Structure 1
Amino acid sequence: MASDPPLPSVIEQFDSVESLTRFVGRPAIVSQSVVIDQEMIDRFAQLTRDSQWIHVDPARAMAESPYGHTIAHGFLVLSLLTYWQASCIAFPRAAMLLNYGFDRIRFTAPVLSGSRVAARFALAQVAKTRSGEARCSWNVTVQAEDAPRPSVHADWQIMVRYEE
C-alpha cells in the first residue's frame, strides 16, 4: 500500500463545548489525505464479503466499467471518516467521543483505485445535551485529488463529552 504523508502539524483543537460552539459556521477543516489503492479495496472486500467485480477485478473493470478502473466501496470511503477527522481535529479534555450516526449520506461520484482522497469538515451545529456534553453536526465532503466533483456528502453526528 502507498505510504501516506505525515499528519499535519496544525490540528484544530476543541477543548470544550464552548470552543465547538464558537466554531460553528467557520470555514471547513481539511483532513490529511490517504491513498485508496487496490490492496485496501481488496482487503475491505474480503472483510465485508462484498467482492463485486467493479471493486476487485481490475481487468473486467477496465473492459466493462464506465470508469475504466476498479472503484472503492462507498462504505470503505465512509469508514475512513474517523481517520480523516483525527488527522485534522482534536478534542483535548474529551472523556468520550461517540459516533452518533448520520442524518444524510450521498455517494455522488466514484473513488477510483489509486486515488488520493481527503475530507473537509464544516461544523454546522452544536447542541448542548447536558453539562460538558454536546452533539455536533458536521457537514462532511470527501473528494479525490483532481476529481471534478466530491465523492461523498454526509451530515455526521458526533457526541462529545468533556471532563468536568
Structure 2
Amino acid sequence: MLTFGNLNEFAAHTGQSLGETDYVFITQEMVDLFAQATGDHQWIHTDSERAALESPYKTTIAHGFLTLSLAPKFMAELYRVESVTMGINYGANKIRFTNAVPVGSNLRMRAWLRQADLQGKALRVTIECVFDIEGEDKPACVAELITLLTES
C-alpha cells in the first residue's frame, strides 16, 4: 500500500501507478446479494442452471456494476492519504465494461493517478482503474473515477 502524508504529497504522484490489488474470488453469493440490493435479477446473473444451458459463458456472470462497485475496496488496498478525513465519490469520466466476469473468477484492480486538482481544502482526483480477470487478456472494466478527498 502506498501511504501519503497529505493531499500535496498525493497530488505530486500524478501520472504514476498506484499499483495493483490482490485478487478477489467472485462467488455466486456475491452476485445474488448484489442482485437483491439492486433489484437486477436478470437470469444471466442469478440462474445457474439456465446460464449453463443458454449463456455463451456457460455460467452466471457478475453484474458490471458489481465489478465497478469493488473500486472503493480496491482503492483502500492501494493507497492511503493520512491527512484525509473524508472521501466522496464525485463521478466518472468514462466507464466501459469490456469483458464478462464469470462467477468463480478472480478479479483485481490496477490503478493510476491521472489528475489531481486542489480545490481549497479538497483534492479532486481522477483515477484510471482497470479491473483484470485472472487468466484473461481483456480486462473486465476500464473506468476513470473521480473522488473528492478532504482534510481538516
Report the TM-score when normalising by structure 1: 0.88
**Equivalent of residue 103 in structure 1, options 88, 93, 113:** 93
Q: Deviations over 1:45-98 (max 9, x none)?
A: 112111111001111111111111110001111111111111121121212111
8 Å Cα contact 2:10/2:81 also seen in 1:
no
Q: CA deviation at 1:28?
A: 4.1
The CA distance in 2 between the partners of 1:89 and 1:32, in whole Å, is 13
8 Å Cα contact 2:48/2:60 also seen in 1:
yes
Q: CA deviation at 1:17?
A: 2.0
8 Å Cα contact 2:31/2:45 also seen in 1:
yes
**Equivalent of residue 106 in structure 2, options 110, 116, 126:** 116
User: What amino acid is aligned across from residue 138 of structure 1 in structure 2?
Assistant: I
User: What amino acid is aligned across from residue 30 of structure 1 in structure 2?
Assistant: E
Q: CA deviation at 1:43?
A: 1.2
Paired residues in the alignment total: 152
Structure 2 portions without partners, runs of 5+: none
- Taking only the aligned residue pairs, the percentage that are identical comes to 35
8 Å Cα contact 1:32/1:88 also seen in 2:
no
Structure 1 portions without partners, runs of 5+: 1-10
- After the TM superposition, which of the residue ranges 116-125 and 89-98 deviates more from structure 2? 89-98
Which residue pairs with 2:148 in the alignment? 159
- Give the RMSD, CA atoms, in angstroms: 1.2
Report the TM-score when normalising by structure 2: 0.95
